[in-house]
């Protein structure tokens, strides 16, 4: 049978506030266990939560960025469950009335197709603490530093139809929260993670299949692998006459498989009710306008501007606007060059991106800055060096931190554009290879590449490639 995959994601983004959502404790990552947990975070009886206004502003800015309805009135609810790292016995979340309602965003797939993904809601909630299973064998310890850290949970519609779409969606949300400055997006530290709900159904069916929820995926690669594994598992199960059960599963990156964790609770198991310690959250038009006024140029708008202003393809514009920092770097290169936007785009999304990736560096930590890259690209544009030599120069810049001009001068890499010099090199190569020359003239066109290679070699790769090709064609054809 032909199966269709259905995916909906619940993304948890940790809001980048300095203090917690209902207490004054710091949220900074990496402190000694329980150094950032006060009486509210410890769940002492009689203490009262006080809502952090900055967390509200951040949630609202997300809502505006995905064109969602921001609720004029939303309510905090207690979600009751027992967990050792949840001393209150409940998590403060939002349930029936979330602060952000329906919205959507657009993803662009590798082949250029665009798709709109619905956002059901985004609600504010507090994170729980952490159980640590290290140190004393057989014992666990509780660290409540994370307890009360503000999160927004962004729930999507079940609109995605492949792991690739799910990853594209998650990346788009990741880009967006970082543009907005509301989440640092650090996935290793768990600041941005998702639960993937996955089901399959016979293609053409209009009913959804039973879903499994894969918890706490904290890398794009894991999301893709976990979904693909889960889809295959469910199809196997159904085709062998079995049934998918609604449950929570965990992805094991070492084994590359998902495993059952527990059967899924129904919402009514949580006994949600409005938290009597917190007033409803009311948001008026003036507050919305004030938040709207702080929004930066958002990724879609920036990509459209890049495509238009710099003549880039939509795909390239999308790549270059994946983060604000990358976009700023690119614009700085173009500004310094005073032109050459396409060449600059190729270098930023090509060699530069590859080296950053190889060394696992963010753009802000690039070993070649925008001024230096502009220096290199300028030398390609003015034909001082060829694009091919430029790759070697770039590598040398990356390693040494020096400027392109210094490396070009020191290594004598300046391109040969003198027609006479190139012709002399060609003459020598022809003289040295009379056999190949005769074959070429007898119609073996393939040998053209051989002569290009030999002449390039004779000039240590420095001949201007376009000139070399043209002159070579003339000379080989003969008088």
DSSP for 92-152, please give it.
Answer: EEE-SS-SB-SEEEEEE-TTS-EEEEEEEEEEEEE---EEE--SSTT--EEE-SSTT-EEE
The upper half-sphere exposure of residue 420, i.e. CA atoms within 13 Å in the direction of its Cβ, equals 0
Smallest gap, in angstroms, from Cβ of residue 125 to ligand ADP?
12
Q: Which residue carries 């290879």 as its tokens?
A: 433
Asked if 258 interacts with ligand ADP (CB under 6 A), we say no
Segment contacting ligand ADP by CB under 6 A, of 8-16, 123-131, 181-189, 354-362: 8-16
DSSP 364: G
Among 106, 157, 247, 395, binds ligand ADP (CB under 6 A): 157
Among 8, 103, 150, 375, binds ligand ADP (CB under 6 A): 8
One symbol per residue from 158 to 197: x for binding ligand ADP (CB under 6 A), - otherwise; what is it? x--------------------------------------x
Residues in 7-36 at the binding interface with Mg ion, rule: CB under 5 A: 10
Residues contacting 135, CB < 8 A, separation 6+: 141
Asked if 7 interacts with ligand ADP (CB under 6 A), we say yes
The H or E element spanning position 167 is helix 163-180
Among 119, 122, 155, 283, binds ligand ADP (CB under 6 A): 155
Residue nearest to ligand ADP (CB): 8
Smallest gap, in angstroms, from Cβ of residue 155 to Mg ion?
8
One symbol per residue from 430 to 459: x for binding ligand ADP (CB under 6 A), - otherwise; what is it? ------------------------------
The upper half-sphere exposure of residue 201, i.e. CA atoms within 13 Å in the direction of its Cβ, equals 13
Is 262:214 a contact under the CB 8 Å cutoff? no
One symbol per residue from 80 to 119: x for binding Mg ion (CB under 5 A), - otherwise; what is it? ----------------------------------------
DSSP for 448-473, please give it.
Answer: HHHHHHHHHHHTTT-B-HHHHHHHHH
Task: Report d(CA 400, CA 412) in Å as an integer.
Answer: 17
Task: Report d(CA 302, CA 308) in Å as an integer.
Answer: 10
Number of residues that bind Mg ion (CB under 5 A): 1
Q: Which residues bind ligand ADP (CB under 6 A)?
A: 6-10, 155-158, 197-199, 208-209, 211, 213, 267
Q: Which residues bind Mg ion (CB under 5 A)?
A: 10
């Amino acid at each position: 049978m032909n199966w269709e995959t259905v995916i909906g994601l619940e993304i948890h983004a940790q809001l980048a506030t300095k203090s917690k959502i209902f207490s004054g404790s710091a949220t900074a990552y990496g402190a000694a266990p329980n150094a950032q947990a006060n009486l509210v975070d410890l769940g002492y009886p009689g203490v009262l939560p006080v809502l952090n206004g900055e967390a509200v502003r951040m949630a609202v800015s997300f809502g505006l960025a995905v064109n969602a309805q921001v609720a004029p009135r939303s309510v905090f609810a207690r979600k009751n469950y027992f967990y050792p790292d949840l001393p209150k016995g409940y998590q403060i979340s939002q349930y029936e009335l979330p602060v952000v309602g329906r919205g959507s965003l657009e993803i662009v797939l590798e082949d250029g197709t665009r798709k709109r993904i619905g956002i059901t809601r985004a609600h504010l909630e507090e994170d729980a603490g952490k159980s640590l299973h290290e140190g004393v064998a057989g014992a666990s310890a509780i660290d409540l530093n994370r307890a009360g850290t503000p999160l927004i949970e962004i729930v999507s519609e079940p609109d995605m139809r492949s792991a690739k779409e799910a990853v594209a969606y998650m990346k788009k949300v990741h880009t967006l929260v970082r543009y907005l400055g509301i989440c640092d997006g650090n996935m290793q530290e768990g600041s941005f993670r998702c639960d993937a709900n996955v089901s399959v159904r016979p293609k053409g069916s209009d009913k959804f299949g039973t879903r499994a929820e894969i918890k706490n995926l904290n890398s794009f690669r894991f999301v893709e692998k976990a979904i693909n594994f889960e889809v295959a598992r469910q199809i196997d199960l159904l085709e062998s006459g079995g049934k998918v059960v609604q449950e929570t599963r965990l992805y094991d990156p070492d084994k590359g498989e998902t495993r059952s964790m527990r059967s899924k609770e129904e919402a009514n198991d949580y006994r949600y009710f409005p938290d009597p310690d917190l007033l409803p959250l009311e948001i008026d038009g003036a507050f919305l306008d004030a938040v709207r006024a702080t929004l930066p140029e958002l990724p879609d708008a920036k990509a459209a501007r890049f495509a238009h202003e710099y003549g880039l393809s939509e795909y390239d514009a999308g790549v270059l606007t994946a983060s604000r920092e990358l976009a700023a770097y690119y614009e700085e290169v173009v500004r310094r060059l005073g032109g050459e936007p396409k060449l600059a785009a190729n270098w930023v999304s090509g060699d530069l991106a590859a080296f950053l990736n190889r060394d696992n560096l963010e753009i802000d930590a690039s070993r070649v800055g925008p001024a230096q890259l502009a220096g290199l690209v300028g030398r390609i544009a003015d034909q001082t060096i060829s694009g091919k030599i430029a790759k070697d120069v770039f590598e040398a810049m990356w390693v040494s931190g020096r400027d392109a001009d210094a490396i070009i001068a020191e290594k004598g890499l300046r391109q040969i554009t003198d027609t006479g010099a190139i012709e002399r090199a060609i003459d020598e190569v022809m003289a040295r290879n009379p056999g190949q020359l005769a074959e070429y003239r007898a119609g073996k066109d393939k040998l053209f590449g051989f002569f290009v290679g030999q002449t390039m070699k004779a000039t240590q790769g420095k001949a201007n490639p376009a000139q070399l090709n043209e002159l070579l064609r003339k000379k080989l054809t003969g008088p």
